[in-house]
Chains A and B, each alone.
Chain A
Amino acid sequence: MRSLLASLSLFGFVAFAAGQAPPKPAPSPDVDKALETFKTGKFDEAFEQLKKACAANPQLQPPRIILAGWFVQAERGKEARATLERFTAEEPKHPDGYLLNASFAFGEGRITDAILSCQAALQFSADARWDAEVRKRYVREARLGLAASFEQRGDWASVKEQLMGLLNDDPKNGPLRQRLGAATFQTGKPEEAFADFQKAFQDDPAVDPPELRLGALWAAKGERDKSEDWLKKAVAAHAANPKAHRAYAGYLLDEGKPGAAQLYIDAAAKLDSKSRDTATLQALLFRHKKEYGPAEVAFEQLHKDAPGDSFALGNLAIVLVESADEKKKKRAVELAESLVKQNSRAADAYAVLGYCYFKLGRIDDADKALGAAASAGQVGLDTAYYLALVLNEKKKYAEGFKILDEAVKARGPFVYRADARTFLADLAKRVPEKKDEPKK
């Protein structure tokens, strides 16, 4: 929601996953019974029960496919793979086997394998034994898999080919046409992409407005001015759609313009006062404006309503640690530690923890946590600020200056940008070569 880039990067995978995840068996008491047996660990017995259920109901998927799917959900990858291999050995021309294999491969990042499996499924779906309905399903899932895989590769022409194939059979499918638009955009044709988005919106008003999609794509490409232009158009063209207002408000917050963002958040709140997304933006706005009291109240409510929301949790920790109240600061650290437990691979979580430690004077702990955040890959702009603070404490002025200088020059979400600028000027006084530089 807040970061358009984040939403876009998830886009392809979710779309494929939605189309290519092991299809759930149709509801059936026999299948349910088999599932219960499976849950007790009696896999062979469950398989026998599935066989009977599938024999009684030909509409169901093959029993080994269903079983493999259950193994996946139970996080028993080895058994899932073994079941699938056995199925493919038994039925080497069954599309379901290849589709499931493609799903595994995609999840594990083996894109080439996913493509090959989908292509095989597509080929075998032409077999005369499949009726029209079933063939249509296999073709659709294979194409969805191929589209997602080619998206991962960045082979946009191939993505378009698959999506156009899908749209031939389902011309009013808004989400598919939006994906087509995104692929068209990536081939350097933004006007055509916009036309696709417009058609998608026309066919399915539930999808994002076309201007918003284009704004997100330009943002992902780093063209922030163009992105802003389209976000403005989105608001003007879809004044009654709170999504448009929220998107632009998020952009303005990322650009460090909380005053301007307030207008659009107010508009979104008027249009949809109960929206969690709007409440989150409002809370973030409070944080940008350093109104920590209202920010705390807002994030506290968000966290209470959805304890698993790491964004709310992380921001709540930051807001509490900014307080002068020692109890709140301690609570901030506890929350940050639980955030890291929930998201042990998320750099942002370690960054929040690092900052909380820093604010409590636990410099070594802060250093460790921020080190973990930095090692996860690209350092976020706020993380760079926290790092610089810690490096300053450790008297590593030049290093801190370098990191912070780059962060301040970059565009993007940076809540502490103003503080970072002030700190950078202060840090410069302690860096020998910067001290001697003539002031501009």
Chain B
Amino acid sequence: MATLIRSSAKRPRFNRVRALAARFPWWIHISAIALMAVGLATGAYYLFHVRPEAQKQQRISEQWANFDRAARTGSEADLDKALVEILRLNPDDSLARQRKATLESGSADESDSVMPLLTLPKHLRTGRWPEAEREAGKRLAHQPKDWLARCTVAKAGLLRGDRAAAARDLDKLPDPKDPFANVTPASLLFAFDLFRELDRAATALRGFVREVVVETARTPAAESFPAAVKVQLVECYLEGFEPKTDRPQPSGLSRAVLPVGKLVELALADPALDAPIASKLGLACNRLVSAFALLRRENQITADQYATIAQDHEARTSKVWQALIAHDPKAAQAYHGLATAALRADDVPSARQHVIRGLEACGDDAALLAIYSLLLRADDQLLPALACLLQAVERDRKNVSLWLLTAETAEVAGRRDVALEACRKARNLEPKNSWVLRTEARMNIEAGGTFAHTGVQLLAELGEALPGDPLAARLYVRGLNEAGLGILIADFLVKVEAAGAKAKSAAPIAQALRGLCDSRYDAALAELAQRTARANLDRFPGDVELISVQALMHFQSAERGEPRWSILETGGAIRAFEELQNRAPDRLEIAAALAWTRLKGKKEPAAALRDAATLSAAAERGEPLSAWQWQVLGATLLANDRRDIAIRALEKSGRMSKTSAGSRIHLALAYHGQGRKVEARATLELARALPRTAQEQADYLDAFAILQREKS
């Protein structure tokens, strides 16, 4: 009974509530119950549906955020992970499904403006140009200003051979400062390459480098870029330099000299540095050497600054190459880099060591062989140098520069046949390369004889550009004369004058006329040269080059005309040379010609010796003299009884020119004067076998008579 009786003490609250509730009408009761039911339902809905859904959406958002982060790093694994999770959370998420399909196929949906940003670089990295072009097109449909996409389409056009289409695409590139362009160092370098391929001026891009890239390099943020991006930044900086070295460098680049150096250091210290990045860094360091030198030349950095910068940079560059070797001991480029750095420091033994180490590690690498040949050449080991180069071109037959280096080395080594053949090979590779054409033409024209025709025909291929190219015009005139086409020279000189008038410069015509001075003497052409020089001096008064031409033509007429050393021509030559000496006292060719004229024309050895003092001084300073200048010096000294030094000068001349009869004739006399009769006769015999000018023939006969007298 006790349990049945409800104790009011046990359930007081409930009774009170019940009592309270009993006071309200029934409808209140119903409403309250209904409200409670709704509340319960709502709560349950929230607890079992809304809240999980919200949590799910939040997780999905988090995954999309992960996706965005992964997109920035380009990590496909992370992208895929995020999408898988999104689809797990929401299998019906069409966007996630679509993007997952994109990751698998590499082809973004046309409506998707974001995925091409991922697919495009992926295809570019793997060199899949048609796919890259496709994705670039999709990106451009949404964002026509996208820099990378536009460059990709242009490049694809170039690969198809459609330069016009590529040019049109490059015209559509936006201002690189436009935020929608999304320019990165890599895409900027891409644009520079395209501009180069299409031969377009990249002035605007270089302006961007100066304004934006330089400033970016100076920010602390740049220091935290990945190593590869740091290298790209340095490369972008280098692109900011004016490529034509005869033009001034723009201001502003010097502001980034130290930051760029720091970027190199940081990239070097980056644990992510690998062989490919180190290799690019090394090449960039090489280019920085020239870049800093250019800035110094333009006084954009002081001499003291340059000394420190250069020293630090050389040390850094060597470290980069050493780092590359550490990653890849067979990286020939690294040994090449170390060797060239050593050469810059005039440390030839170290350079040689690096090259030899490189050849041992990498085998016969063409670039290493080339530098080895230069070292041999510096040691006067010309034939071994040539052998080295011939080995190098066997390894790298399409390297035009290597063929030209081979040609030049062969020429110096006296193997003209090899030189001309190497030139032909270079021209077969790049028929329109004007440098190659000029080199081959020069060698042919200097070879003389029937080769002059080949040289002239080569230069004629320059077409309209020829008259305005002073050095080529000089060779051409010489070649025309040597080939028997002197009758064409007058008309050509008219074209050269027109080119000079357009450029407001006497250089083209002066150089063209020098071509006549360089070639065989012809009285009519000498007269033409004098007339033309006089007429052009009216236009360009006091031009030293034109006055030189006049003087040299007088000299030639005096030495080679009939009669030899006529009073008129000899006097004219001396007057012209003296006038020139007043204007350009250090010109060696003028001093030599004047000394020779006095020695042979006026028979005034003492006066000739005074004129030759310029040559002596230059020789003492270690300046290079030509073979003929050494000959003049030697002959003048001999005429003044200074036989010992005369012999040294004449021997040098003979070594430099294997076909010079003049130096050998005077050397024979010098030996004879020293009592070295056997050497004298042998040397004169050598001269006998060589072609001689009229002066040389006269000298030969005199020398022969002297030696014969002694013999008898």
A residues near B (Cβ < 8 Å) are: 229, 232-233, 235-240, 244-245, 248, 257, 259-260, 262-264, 266-267, 270-271
Contact = CB atoms under 8 A, between A and B. Distances in A.
B349 interface: no
Complex A-B, nearest 3 residue pairs according to Cβ-Cβ distance, in ascending order: A239-B484, A232-B450, A236-B484
Given A236-B450, A260-B457, A263-B460, A270 B484 contact: no
A267 B485 contact: yes
DSSP class of B's interface residues: helix, strand, loop or mixed?
helix
A238 B484 contact: yes
A266 B488 contact: yes
Given A259-B460, A263-B460, A239 B453 contact: no
B456 interface: yes
Contacts of B449: 233, 236
Given A232-B483, A260-B460, A263-B460, A270 B453 contact: no
Interface string B443-456: 00000011011001
B461 interface: yes
Contact of B485 (A233, A237, A239): A239
Contacts of A229: 450
Contacts of A270: 487-488
B453, B460, B486, B488: residue with the most chain A Cβ atoms closer than 10 Å: B453
B460 A267 contact: no
A263 B485 contact: yes
Interface string B482-509: 1111111001000000000000000000
Given A259-B461, A263-B457, A233 B488 contact: no
A235 B486 CA distance: 11
A266 B492 CA distance: 12
Interface in B624-681: none
Contacts of B482: 236
A237 B486 CA distance: 12
Interface residues of B, number: 16
B683 to A, nearest CB: 30
Contacts of B461: 259
Contacts of B452: 236
Contacts of B460: 259-260, 262-263
A16 to B, nearest CB: 34
Contacts of A263: 456-457, 460, 485, 488
21 contacts: A229-B450, A233-B450, A235-B483, A235-B484, A235-B485, A236-B452, A238-B484, A239-B485, A239-B486, A239-B487, A240-B487, A257-B457, A259-B457, A259-B460, A263-B456, A263-B485, A264-B485, A267-B485, A267-B487, A267-B488, A271-B487
A262 B463 CA distance: 12
Given A233-B449, A239-B485, 7 more contacts: A233-B450, A236-B483, A257-B457, A260-B460, A263-B488, A264-B485, A271-B487
A260 B463 CA distance: 11
DSSP class of A's interface residues: helix, strand, loop or mixed?
helix
A264 B484 CA distance: 10
Contacts of A257: 457
Contacts of B456: 263
B441 to A, nearest CB: 12
Contacts of B486: 239
A107 to B, nearest CB: 41
B288 to A, nearest CB: 43
A244 B488 contact: no
Nearest to B480: A263
A271 B486 CA distance: 11
Contacts of B450: 229, 232-233, 236
Interface string B468-487: 00000000000000111111
Contacts of B491: 266
A244 B491 CA distance: 20
Nearest to B452: A236
Nearest to B448: A236
B489 to A, nearest CB: 10
A244 B487 contact: no
A338 B491 CA distance: 42
A270 B461 CA distance: 21
B476 to A, nearest CB: 10
A33 B445 CA distance: 67
B453, B457, B484, B485: residue with the most chain A Cβ atoms closer than 10 Å: B484
A215 to B, nearest CB: 11
A270 B450 CA distance: 22
A271 B484 CA distance: 12
Contacts of B485: 235, 239, 245, 263-264, 267
A299 B392 CA distance: 53
A404 to B, nearest CB: 25
Nearest to A239: B484
A248 B482 CA distance: 16
A235 B456 CA distance: 13
A245 B483 CA distance: 11
Nearest to B522: A239
A30 to B, nearest CB: 54
Interface in B418-449: 449
A73 B93 CA distance: 108
B450, B452, B461, B486: residue with the most chain A Cβ atoms closer than 10 Å: B450
B291 to A, nearest CB: 41
A363 B414 CA distance: 60
A244 B484 contact: yes
A247 to B, nearest CB: 12
Nearest to A237: B484
Contacts of A240: 487
A259 B453 CA distance: 13
Interface string B136-180: 000000000000000000000000000000000000000000000
Nearest to B490: A270
A259 B459 CA distance: 11
A232, A240, A257, A270: residue with the most chain B Cβ atoms closer than 10 Å: A232
A233 B450 CA distance: 6
A248 B453 CA distance: 11
A229 B491 CA distance: 26
A41 B45 CA distance: 140
A200 to B, nearest CB: 21
A272 to B, nearest CB: 11
B487 A232 contact: no
A235 B488 contact: no
A235 B457 contact: no
B488 A232 contact: no
Contacts of A244: 484
Contacts of A271: 487
A235 B488 CA distance: 13
A267 B484 CA distance: 9
Contacts of B453: 232, 235-236, 248
Contacts of A236: 449-450, 452-453, 482-484
